[in-house]
Amino acid sequence: MRPIGEQVCSVCGERLFSPYAMDSPTGNPKCGMCLRVAPVFEQAVAFGSYEGSLRDLIHLLKFEGVRPAAGVLGRMLAEAMSKFAAGTQLQDVVVVPVPLHRSKRRQRGFNQAELIACAALRNVDHPERYHLCSQVLERKRETTSQVGLTSHQRRANLRGAFAVADAQSVKGREVLLVDDVYTTGATVSECARVLLRAGASRVSAATVARTLKVSAQNLELGQQSRSDEISAAEAPLATAVGT
């Protein structure tokens, strides 16, 4: 389980293949999606690629209820959060875990995003700059699984799913959304949208893992046997970039 060590979009964290687009005023690289339409959030950072042993560890926590996994994932999240430090001045930040619907939370017994956020705040530099506010967002309805949906369908699926339960806590303040996985950004975008409407000054996001565009090399490996697929998923990301 290693951090994303290659060139990624400075806004959404997507893997970039050269020649990647450059944002001329700042010199920060951006992916084509972010160049076309700026996301509602400021920046999204992630520790690693959602595959192999990192995906297994997240599943261990979420689906098998192995809570100590949250400690490890929290340390990774803290490392992802350190990626903000260079460009952004994070001060007095309201940390908001992406909520589960209460029926899902009852069923699981915990919200993995909240456990990971708690663990991360024990490991970040300058913990005094962060304030965990788990009750700010509310999931109004249970959304059907996002698996297999296009990004447009994901956005439609999430519309109206979240509401701000405590606008006072975010008014005029910087918010950091925390979740386990960033897939298409639909969840983070929808949460950011309602938070900004409630008066948050800026919204960024940090997740432990992110799905990344697969390189041509990895796609080829994926055509081979299952065992090859596993070793490809666990191979260092740097080798997957290709030239």
Binding site for Zn ion (CB under 5 A): 9, 11-12, 14, 31, 34
| CB nearer to Zn ion: pick between 29 and 99 | 29
In the complex, what is the shortest distance from the CB of residue 8 to Zn ion, in angstroms, rounded to a whole number? 8
Strand partners, 177: 96, 205
Q: Which is nearer to Zn ion, 46 or 73 (CB)?
A: 46
Q: Tell me the closest approach of the beta carbon of residue 30 to Zn ion, in angstroms.
A: 6
Q: Nearest distance from residue 92's CB to Zn ion, in Å?
A: 27
Min dist. Cβ of residue 123 to Zn ion (A) = 27
Name the residue nearer to Zn ion (CB basis): 34 or 119: 34
* Closest to Zn ion by CB, 9 or 46: 9
Minimum distance between the CB of residue 33 and Zn ion, rounded to whole angstroms? 5
If the CB atoms of residues 9 and 208 are measured against Zn ion, the closer one turns out to be 9
